Structure 1
């Protein structure tokens, strides 16, 4: 998520997936899917595909435009064979309240026009909460993909988004056992919660072969298994100059021991360029590359000797790939990647970056329950059972 107040949104060229959605039919219930940021695309692509196979719903796709950079959006949609969205809201970036309000207002108009039976949201970005709020106020049922994750850190905007979205949702889909325990502790009825597994891993397994064939590391001139992949984007890490400078110092020191590949988020690059930190990294030999699409990033993860990240999804992907992950945070809402995976909490002191080590063994994918590539099938079956024969609620624009 972004605190960047830039509001100019370039036009995206959105691409069709290999298998277009079925035409709308008055004989089927209608579902509206929401995507807005890179993690949403990865989580929702398998769900859309699984529902398309079942043919039980009209599917309407709404792209909020929260991630509007071409490399952060339509390249990833193409990599995932994601169908062309029916609505692009073009909300752009902004302060949290501004961005959330823009999405809520624009999405409400879509709901009034579409009259869906239910809405599916995923994850914990601003678009997730805004669309859940809009649907809830119009009396439209909500299904939340990736429910029950908790960092218990209320300084994280994502924690606020995920907790409130869960409270608004009618069906809650968890991807690890602790999700149910968290929701039960908050008073959510167990009958509304369904443990289906991790749809992000569905995308990974579907795309893994194509990603490995790209061998992007080799193209960058680094030996597979020998380098550290770095990804940092959280405002708490990149928006404060003194903190970012400390992180850069840690990466410069780390680069003396191993090659570093750093695909730099647009916001992070802007911060690094402001005080000369980008030049420091490049002088130390860090491969400071532009953001890459889903397949290219998956290729870099699969061939890395270690990964340093502040991303939630990367913690999951590295566990599935068996690549050691060092999470540059003091907490994680994905503890199963620590207890059953390859993830290590590094803390938030840049000095701790010195503890990152290249793996000395071949990657061993973690056997986490239901992270088996079929989570979307289980999720789709629940949606069909609950909503395939339901009439759409009467939705009227609120005045």
Structure 2
């Protein structure tokens, strides 16, 4: 029986990989080993490991890491501790393949551990570019450590090959997080209101803002500009979700907490809404605001316009419903008005989301099930002559 280990370190990557994990668990010929770490195990970030268990998945390993210090040195020390904990689990578990997603430092730790231990790595959402975050460097580094690549669009497949990966090992499957929209029944507005205890009257804003981790700017400045811009919409209902456990994420969350306390009843902040409530709110929202990848990848398929702030998502493909703006108050307010005035995302139809190719999770799991493990660890750099067309 082929054992597939999956590492998840946050609500974000679990939400994207949920149906990949579920399909591995249900697949004949595969055994799932689920490794949970990072903010999943943090009360401050919502203890989101509980949502995994509620989805009927067995958590095989929990690796606790200290997330209290979100300075650069603190993150570096957390990374070192994560490598130690993950390496010990992988050495005991001996999976045939380790699945990781994207670009967070916890994933970087998991990939380094597997590489040194000689465990093949399958990487989801590689080849993308996000110029406003250290995620950019981590993502490409994980690509070079990995042996199988599942990209979300053809340009990202081409970039993986450009990085020297063999074309036969780089698969364009689409974004697996979109499988949630096909498989989950979204909540009615009244049901969501009852769950979170707030009236969701229009206009409804769903807001997530993360620090720009490669910027030298004061991390509090960007969130301050956003909050000032939101003051121009006193009639709006605002649902905030907390920033990731990134560098300076605590400072961002502290500013939001103060804003919510001052504004009162039509504003709320959640460590994590949970997958189904979050997607339901995303579908109902008049605009999704901030710099989260969900505004780039999921929101267009739901017909919700996105106000994408700053450079964190620079380099990613965009649907027509995404409105980009600078990180100053006036630009943000203007972009929100544009979203409300023309309801840009409401005109999105099937086929216009560049990440949606249908049932990515099924394609990923079939490749994990059928790929020949013999020689998988052996990699050769795939050279592309200057000026040549890529495969």
Fold conserved between structures, TM > 0.5: yes
Whether the 8 Å contact between 2:193 and 2:200 is mirrored in structure 1 is: yes
Normalising by structure 2, we get a TM-score of: 0.81
Match status 1:87 vs 2:72 = no
Whether the 8 Å contact between 2:104 and 2:138 is mirrored in structure 1 is: yes
Question: Which of 367, 381, 389 is 1:382 aligned to?
Answer: 367
Whether the 8 Å contact between 1:136 and 1:168 is mirrored in structure 2 is: yes
Cα distance in structure 2, aligned partners of 1:273 and 1:299: 23
Match status 1:256 vs 2:234 = yes
Distance 1:370 1:156, change over 3 A: closer
Distance 1:113 1:144, change over 3 A: same
How far residue 99 of structure 1 moved from its aligned partner, in angstroms, is 1.7
Runs (5+) with no aligned partner, structure 1: 1-27, 394-399
2:152 alignment partner in structure 1: 175
2:208 alignment partner in structure 1: 231
Backbone CA RMSD of aligned residues: 3.0
Whether the 8 Å contact between 1:43 and 1:199 is mirrored in structure 2 is: yes
1:103-142 equivalence runs, <5 A: 103-142=82-121
Cα distance in structure 1, aligned partners of 2:96 and 2:347: 44
1:226-278 superposed Cα distances (whole Å, 9 cap, x missing partner): 2222111325599633443333222223x236333323448789536867x74
Whether the 8 Å contact between 1:30 and 1:57 is mirrored in structure 2 is: yes
Whether the 8 Å contact between 1:39 and 1:123 is mirrored in structure 2 is: no
1:9 alignment partner in structure 2: none
Match status 1:61 vs 2:34 = yes
1:171-320 equivalence runs, <5 A: 171-207=148-184, 209-212=185-188, 215-217=191-193, 220-223=198-201, 226-234=203-211, 236=213, 240-253=219-232, 255-256=233-234, 258-265=236-243, 271=251, 278-284=257-263, 287-291=267-271, 292-320=273-301
SS at 2:122 equivalent: strand
Number of residue pairs aligned between Structure 1 and Structure 2:
356
SS at 1:66 equivalent: helix
1:113-171 superposed Cα distances (whole Å, 9 cap, x missing partner): 111111111121111111111111111110001111112x2x62211211100010000
Distance 1:226 1:171, change over 3 A: same
Distance 1:57 1:96, change over 3 A: same
SS at 2:187 equivalent: helix
Whether the 8 Å contact between 2:3 and 2:30 is mirrored in structure 1 is: yes
2:356 alignment partner in structure 1: 371
Distance 1:269 1:248, change over 3 A: farther
How far residue 86 of structure 1 moved from its aligned partner, in angstroms, is 0.4
Whether the 8 Å contact between 1:119 and 1:135 is mirrored in structure 2 is: yes
